[in-house]
Structure 1
Amino acid sequence: MQSSYLVGSCNGLLCLDAYYSIILWNPWIRKILTIPNPVVQHKLSGYRRSYRRYFFYGFGYDDATDDYKVVRLADHQSPAWCEVKVYSLKKNCWKRLPNFPYRRILGTFSITCAGILSNCALHWLVEGNNVAAIDLRTEEYRLVPKPEVLGKNYSLTLGVLDGGLCILSKFCPLEYQRSTQLRQLELQLWVMKDYGIKDSWTKLSIQVPNIDQFDNVYPIGHSKGNTELVLQKDGVVNFLWYNFENLKSVEKTIFPAAKGNSSISEGYNCVCSLVQPICGGKKGIKRKSKRKSIKWPQ
């Protein structure tokens, strides 16, 4: 699986972008399915030189039809429009959807800009710091309401914690962006308790003494007691553990042997399962979510 990038994880299945194909892989039972990439409707000028500037993927489970789906966005930058295709594991075919109605934000921290899976929908940041979603059940588009205070001067990163959508925000006023002086910075972690309900966003403040330490990070999990938040630094194998009780952060290298490997881009949560990546609907055991409400420190 050389030159492959993780673009999603769901119920024990990992989804990898392998350039000419998509790979669904269950590492626990060592089963792999290779899916050929569909033809692009219109040629993307120069896409072979900068492949990952143009193609973005998402992977998730449609509980309404008991089906796993891969979403591919082909971003045509000139003229600006975005072609969307969805692969159904049950039907073993690609289907084209209406063009993506929102302008994508390409300057996100993740190298793959993969869709964030939460509540049976895939999410991307779009123009105006808005959160756009593709519903895997209905295969329709929508905007997810975000906290009112998060305007254009905020740098945002999408994530998911225990299945719930979250936003890591950093205030970046124009005068701050032009300054090279390091000073204390406050990050805000917003967690959506009730999906789609604007007033359900809950804010947690993270005091950061060093700007560089928390530049280009995104949340991937938390400790068992919810006292520590785990963030990954983009493009490296280092993780940051932020303690809500003593307000301190510790940088850890989880995989020392992987240091210097530029192909490592980001981490995903993966559960052990017997789900098989097989076309036609015989995928093994369906795993229903048992997500409980998270009680975060105040």
Structure 2
Amino acid sequence: MHSDIALCNPSIKEFNHLPKSCIHLPTKDEDDYVHQCHVGFGYDSKAKVYKVVRIVDFSSSHRPRVEVYTLGADCWREIKTFVLGNICCQRSLHTHFKGVYYWSGFSYITTELQLVLFAFDMSDELFYLVYPPEAAFGSDWNLAVWKESLLLITHREEAPKCFDLWLNEDSDFLKGSWTKYFTIKPIEVDIPLVFWKSNEILMVNVDRRIVSYNLDTQTLKCLPIHGAEDPICIYAINYVNSIISVKRNNKLGCVETYI
């Protein structure tokens, strides 16, 4: 299992490896091994602490297992909650917003696999399913945050691509009431990344260059950013300065929580 996870705060130049997983894995055999590990980082506004959640996804019939690390503790703790499906590993399908971490994936809560968002509430430490708009099925997705709302960006594979921007208008962002806000006209762009200004979104164009698209003027501008040779591996986040230390200490106890 992936065990090398670290927290980094560039503002104060701190870097800290987290302790080893608390999950005891079953005996390995041909049909039973870890397939993927999915990690999310967010803020618990009730307890006023930062948390890391890790989902251990098996390739066999075992259910995924979940553990949580709280900044200030020195260990992971497993929580007994349920992830009814499989999470996509592509980072552009993950995001954190207002105390909830979202992953895109496939739910098997019904007899057929269904594309959904898995939402983990950092405060109550429970998973919720958020369903996308029906018009989004059959499209590729990207998740973003824009104007204090959760945003779903959908597009088809055909080039040049059009991008539909869907806003989640629920106050708790967990119900899936989506409204199409804007459609980006056909442009020579492969992948949307993140909103970096109120009206501009970073994207990777067909020439593997980072560009900025302005929603008001509907124009593209190339940026002097390199390293997009493989756009599937490019992931962008909004960065905010912080003086919060990521160093470990033993002020918090280590206990298992069963939900």
TM-score range with shorter-chain normalisation? 0.7 to 0.9
Secondary structure at 1:54's aligned position in 2?
strand
Choose the corresponding residue for 1:122, options 65, 76, 101.
101
**1:35-114 mapped onto 2 (5 Å cutoff):** 35-43=18-26, 54-79=36-61, 81-106=63-88, 109-110=90-91
CA-atom RMSD, angstroms?
3.5
Does residue 187 (structure 1) correspond to residue 163 (structure 2)? The answer is yes
Q: Following the alignment from structure 2 to structure 1, what is the Cα–Cα distance between the partners of residues 159 and 238?
A: 32
Counterpart Cα distance in 2 of 1:57 and 1:165? 19
Alignment-derived partner of residue 235 in structure 2? 266
Q: Deviations over 1:219-257 (max 9, x none)?
A: 311424x2x222357xx9842312223433334342x4x
Query: What is the DSSP-based 3-state SS (H/G/I as helix, E as strand, rest coil) of the residue aligned with 2:183?
Result: strand
Whether 1:160 and 2:126 are equivalent positions in the alignment is no
Residue 240 of structure 1: aligned partner:
211
**2:208 and 2:71 mapped to 1: Cα distance?**
31
Question: Paired residue for 1:276?
Answer: 245
Q: Which runs of 5+ in 2 are unaligned?
A: 107-113, 252-259
TM-score by length of structure 1 reads 0.67
Instruction: Determine the C-alpha separation between the residues in 1 that align with 2:76 and 2:146.
Output: 30
> Percent of counterpart pairs with the same letter?
21
TM-score (norm 2): 0.76
Q: Which string of whole-angstrom CA distances, capped at 9 and with x for unpartnered residues, describes residues 24-66 of structure 1?
A: 12111112222123054325869xxx98x61110001111101
Deviations 1:246-289 (Å, cap 9, x if unpaired)?
433334342x4x57699x7422211112111134599xxxxxxx
What's the CA shift for 1:159? 2.3
The 3-state SS of whatever aligns with 2:135 is coil
1:220 aligns with 2:206: no
Please give the per-residue CA displacement for 1:112-161, whole angstroms capped at 9, x wherever unaligned: x774111211111121221111110000111124323222x122222223
3-state secondary structure, aligned to 1:149: helix
Letter in 2 for 1:120: G
Q: Structure 1: how far apart are the matches of 2:9 and 2:193?
A: 23
Q: Unmatched 5+ residue regions in structure 1?
A: 1-18, 173-181, 283-298
Q: Is 1:27 matched up with 2:3?
A: no
